[in-house]
Amino acid sequence: MLFITNRMPPEAIQMLLDKGAELEAEDKLGDTALKKAVKFKQVEAVTRLLQQGAELDSQHGILASAWNAARNDKTIADLLGYV
């Protein structure tokens, strides 16, 4: 998540994914890497996280999901299959 918030290159994020980064880990706000990538409009990170199997839903409900975070960004919503 730190790589996403600091806008690291997609290759750096991929390196972490290749090393087995925990996709569903949450920060103190309850955000996952996918939700952070959506919030920070990191299209390439969203794509890579989805390819690795990141969950779209949240155990905390729809309002805490990546789906909800993407509701106002058509480009990212389309990546999530949300139209």
Using N-to-C axis directions, what is the helix angle for 43-51 and 10-18, rounded to 10°? 20
**pTM, rounded to two decimals:** 0.89
Report d(CA 80, CA 50) in Å as an integer: 8
pLDDT tens, the chain, 83 aa long:
999 999 999 999 999 999 999 999 999 999 999 999 999 999 999 999 999 999 998 889 999 999 899 998 999 999 898 43
Report d(CA 75, CA 2) in Å as an integer: 23
Ranges of each domain in the chain:
2-80
List the Cα angle 18/74/13 in 5-degree steps.
15
Give the sign of the dihedral formed by CA 35, CA 36, CA 38, CA 44.
negative
Hey, what CATH topology would domain 2-80 get? 1.25.40
